[in-house]
Structure formats: C-alpha cells, structure tokens
C-alpha cells in the first residue's frame, strides 16, 4: 500500500507497555482498534471516517473535476522543474553568503529553514503549527479526491506528529494505483502540490482583501495602530507610545499605515538630520551648559551633564560679518521643537516666519537621529537614537477598530495566520515537487517518465534506472539546501 511520509513522539507508556509480556498483546490491540501507532519520536492516527466525504467530493461535477486535476497535472510538472531551478539558485546564494563578508549578498533567500525557537518566535508557534497542519490536510485531501475520481481506493486518512511537527497522510490501495495509466497517476500525485498552491493563492487573496472584509468593523488609512510596546524599549515610558495609540506621522513624513511607518523610518535613517525653526530671541546664552567638545566619532556635544531633557543644537548665528560661525547651544529639547517647523537652511525659516528665526539642528552621533512621533491627541513622542530600534520596539497594525468592544488583535491574528499559510503551503508545494526519494516528487517523476519515455526507451529497467539517478540528484540537491540552511541559521 502507498503511504506518504509520516511522523510522531515517544512516551514512557510506550516503552513500559511493549516491555511487558502480559500487557503487550492487549496494548497493541487497543492501539489498532483506535487507529493509533506509536514509535520513538512518532505518533500516528488513521481512520476511515472521512472516506464518505472524499467519495462525495469525487462525485461533484466529474467534468469540472477532470479539468481541475488536469490543471493540477500541468502545474505539478512545471513545479517539479521550477523547484529544481529554485533549489539550485538558493544553493548558489547560500554559497555566496558563506564565501563573502557581506551577509546581504544575494538578497533574501528564496527558501529558508525554519527552526522554532531559533528563527521562529516562540510567540508565533501556534500560527506555525496550525498553518502547517492545515496545509498538510489540504494537500492530502487533494490526493484522496483525485484517487477516488480515478477509481483508486482510499484505505484511510490520518494525521501524525514527528518530534513536534504535525502533518497528514492518505493510504491508497497500491494494486489499483498500479493498474491505471501514467497520466491518471500523475493527476493523483500532482493533486497535493496543486491544492497547496491553490491554498497559497487563496490565503494571499484573503490577505489582500482583508481591509474589505473587515471594513464594517475596522477602518484603515488613518494611521498605524500600536498593538504592543516592548517594555523598557525606546518607545516605552510616560511620554512614549502606548497600546491603542494611532501614529499619524514621523517628523514631516505622514504615516497612513504600517507600510508608511516602515518607509518613513527607513527614510529618516538614510537622510541627514532635519532642523527646526527657532526664534533668535530664544537662543539665550544662559541655556548653555558648557563649552562644546568633540566626540570620538568627530561630532560635537555641548550638554556635558547628559541631561534627559536637554539636547545639543548647532546653528549659524546671523552676523554682519562675511564669515559664518557654527555655534552650539544646549537647550530644553521639548520646549524648542514644540510647534516648530522643520527646515534645512535658515532660508526655510525666513519664508514662514515674521520674526527672525534660525534653523537649529540637533548635534548627534553618526547614524543617531532625533525626530518627533505624532500620535494625537497626545503630545509628540521625542525619539533620540537609531531609527530601526524604534521599529522593533513596537508592533503595529493598519486596522483601527470602529467600536470600543472590538479586539485590537483580531486583524493581527488574521494577517499573521494568512502569512504563515501562504509561506508554509507554498513551501510544501515547492518541496514536495522536488524529484526526491520519499516525497511526492518521486512518484510524479516516475509517472512522468512512464508517460513520456515509453516510446523512446522501451526497456522498463532502463527507464527505472534513469529515474533512480534523477531522484538521487534531486535528493542530494534538497539535502544540501537543508543542511546549509540549518548551518546558516545556527551559525548566526
């Protein structure tokens, strides 16, 4: 009988019962009667209760189902070739990253090994496992319905856990499977990756249309809603950001959603520090806290007492002389920037103010920026630091509840879950398409060779030998990607 890859966990009860001669027979009978099978690191459950559902689905509009699974056949063959190209490209990128000092060479990897607790946050494990199980069930549903449509008996459907990873499988009657044509076999074998691809597209469409679905309850486009603030971070504190605040701007960069928030922080990180228009009368010498001194990176500081409320500003004092002298003053930062306009030069201030004003610029260390975070009706949050640090200090969403009883995290849950379904279902479609031993790609390749090479290579043993070496190459390619991917993840 044809069975797909299965997995599970070990328990002390398993060892105890199997070691006991008295209880071993009754124990194994009890497991068999409930469709359970236990082994080290592996627990599996199989049932026939869903066979009627599969049979019902296989009888729905036979012509449409034929076109549906024929489309899956075409997709599966293309995906098998595409997965090989993708793995080769990913392997080249990994080698490039290993042989260079620049970790960003090659850009984002197309495939990445996911290790819970290493590069997968423990807070998102539930999303990962539920999305993985859903993707596996939809995958096997495709195999089961396609098999019944091609008159191949389904012995049962089951689920398993390998170590901690959940999955699903179908048990097909091998005798029936060997009697049908290679094209019919291809439709069955390709149905799994085809359904994973369809699930991936459906989740992507749902994610794209989520603002439309949630429109009666949540609004978008009015700012980025804070859903979490990391305790002790740059955004935390009495005058920082709080859960429920709506950020509408970062300095003079408007924020209408999370995408704007990210792009504004990136823009502030890579542009020179902006200045602020301050009346000349406000620049009193008594505000200075000492002579300016040069930091190790070459920048100037004039607040020698490391005050949390004062900041060193630089400006060019208006003089009759032809020479412009850069001066520094340590001033109360919130008083200086409240209600003032941003500027680049003194000319920007002259065009918007009747009083004589100058453009003062915070004198900060390299890559450090000062800017105001607008989150009405609260006063501005003043940020001094490296802008990307603020991005990791808060979690945001585009969806703002229209009613007070609505939960802030519902859209976040739907967004996160859809993203995991897209990535995991897409990954299952790619990995299972690889011509590799013990994966769907093995059966897909064998059926494809039987359907295409039967007139060219008439000897069946030669066709099997060709398939063996192709599977060997595909298995080595996948194993190399997984091994190097794990090494890259654990070496960081």
Q: Running DSSP on this structure, what letter comes out for residue 457?
A: -
Q: Six-digit token pair at 23?
A: 């209880």
Question: How distant is the alpha carbon of residue 88 from its chain centre?
Answer: 22
Q: How far out from the chain centre does Cα 410 lie?
A: 18
Both tokens of 359, joined, read 């453009």
Neighbours of 239 (CB within 10 A): 10
Burial of 256 (0-12, 13-18, 19+ CB in 10 A): middle
Give the span between the Cα atoms of 110 and 176, in whole angstroms.
38
Q: Which residue has the tokens 């809603």?
A: 225
CA distances from 8 to 56, 162, 196, 204, 317 (A): 30, 4, 23, 31, 74
Q: How far apart are the C-alpha atoms of 283 and 287, rounded to whole Å?
A: 8
Catalytic entry in 6, 140, 150, 450: 140
d(CA 304, CA 292) in angstroms, rounded, equals 8
**Any idea how long the chain is?**
492
Report how far apart, in Å, the C-alpha atoms of 345 and of each of 273, 342, 350, 357 are. Answer: 12, 10, 9, 11
- Do you find a cis peptide bond into 377, omega within 30 degrees of 0? yes
For residues 330 and 346, the answer to whether their CB atoms sit within 8 Å is no
- Distance between alpha carbon 272 and the CA centroid of its chain, in Å? 31
The values of phi and psi at residue 332, to 5°, are -60, 115
Task: Give the HSE-up count for residue 392: Cα atoms under 13 Å, Cβ half-sphere.
Answer: 7
What distance in Å separates the CA atoms of residue 153 and residue 148, rounded to the nearest whole number?
6
> Which residue, among 262, 235, 267, 270, has the nearest Cα to 252 in the 3D structure?
267
DSSP 379: P
The Cα–Cα gap between 340 and 73 comes to 64
End-to-end CA distance of the chain: 43
Pair of tokens at residue 128: 């990962």
Q: Residue 371 and residue 353: Cα distance in Å, rounded?
A: 21
Q: What is the rounded distance in angstroms from the CA atom of residue 410 to the CA atom of residue 413?
A: 5
Of the candidates 294, 335, 4, 285, the one whose C-alpha atom is nearest the C-alpha of residue 139 is 4
Known active-site residue 140: yes
Residues taking part in catalysis:
140
């Amino acid at each position: 009988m044809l069975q797909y890859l299965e997995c599970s966990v070990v328990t002390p009860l398993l060892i105890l019962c199997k070691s006991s001669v008295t209880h071993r027979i009754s124990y194994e009978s009890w497991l068999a009667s409930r469709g359970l099978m236990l082994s080290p690191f592996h627990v599996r459950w199989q049932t026939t209760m869903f066979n009627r559902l599969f049979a019902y689905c296989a009888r729905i509009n036979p012509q449409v189902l034929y076109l549906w699974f024929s489309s899956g056949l075409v997709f599966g063959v293309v995906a098998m070739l595409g997965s090989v190209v993708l793995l080769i490209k990913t392997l080249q990128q990994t080698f490039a990253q290993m042989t260079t000092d620049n970790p960003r060479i090659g850009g984002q990897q197309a495939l990445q090994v996911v290790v819970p607790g290493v590069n997968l946050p423990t807070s998102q494990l539930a999303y990962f496992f539920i999305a993985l199980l859903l993707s596996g069930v939809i995958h096997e549903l495709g195999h089961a319905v396609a098999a019944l449509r091609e008159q191949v008996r389904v012995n049962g459907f089951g689920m398993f856990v390998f170590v901690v990873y959940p999955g699903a499988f179908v048990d097909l009657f091998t005798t029936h499977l060997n009697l049908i044509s290679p094209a019919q076999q291809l439709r069955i074998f390709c149905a799994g990756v085809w359904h994973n691809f369809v699930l991936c597209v459906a989740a992507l469409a749902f994610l794209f249309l989520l603002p439309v679905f949630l429109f009666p309850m949540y609004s978008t486009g009015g700012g980025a809603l804070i859903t979490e603030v990391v305790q002790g971070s740059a955004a935390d504190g009495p005058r920082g950001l709080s859960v429920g605040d709506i950020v509408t701007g970062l300095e003079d960069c408007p924020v209408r959603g999370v995408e704007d928030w990210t792009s504004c922080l990136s823009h502030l990180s890579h542009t020179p520090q902006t200045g602020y228009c301050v009346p000349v009368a406000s620049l009193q010498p008594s505000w200075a806290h000492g002579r300016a001194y040069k930091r190790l990176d070459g920048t100037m500081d004039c607040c020698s007492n490391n005050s949390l409320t004062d900041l060193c500003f630089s400006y060019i004092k208006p003089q009759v002389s032809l020479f412009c002298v850069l001066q520094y003053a340590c001033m109360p930062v919130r008083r200086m920037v409240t209600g003032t306009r941003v500027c680049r030069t003194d000319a920007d201030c002259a065009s918007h103010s009747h009083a004589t004003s100058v453009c003062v610029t915070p004198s900060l260390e390299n890559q450090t920026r000062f800017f105001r975070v607008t989150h009405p009706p609260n006063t501005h949050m003043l940020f001094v630091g490296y802008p990307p640090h603020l991005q990791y200090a808060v979690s945001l969403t585009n969806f703002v509840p229209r009613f007070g009883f609505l939960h802030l995290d519902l859209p976040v849950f739907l967004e996160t879950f859809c993203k995991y379904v897209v990535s995991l279902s897409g990954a299952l479609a790619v990995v299972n398409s690889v011509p590799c031993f013990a994966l769907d790609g093995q059966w897909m390749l064998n059926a494809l060779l039987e359907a295409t090479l039967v007139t060219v290579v008439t000897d069946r043993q030669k066709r099997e030998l060709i398939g063996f070496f192709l599977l060997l190459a595909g298995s080595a390619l996948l194993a190399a990607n997984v091994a190097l991917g794990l090494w890259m993840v654990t070496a960081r």
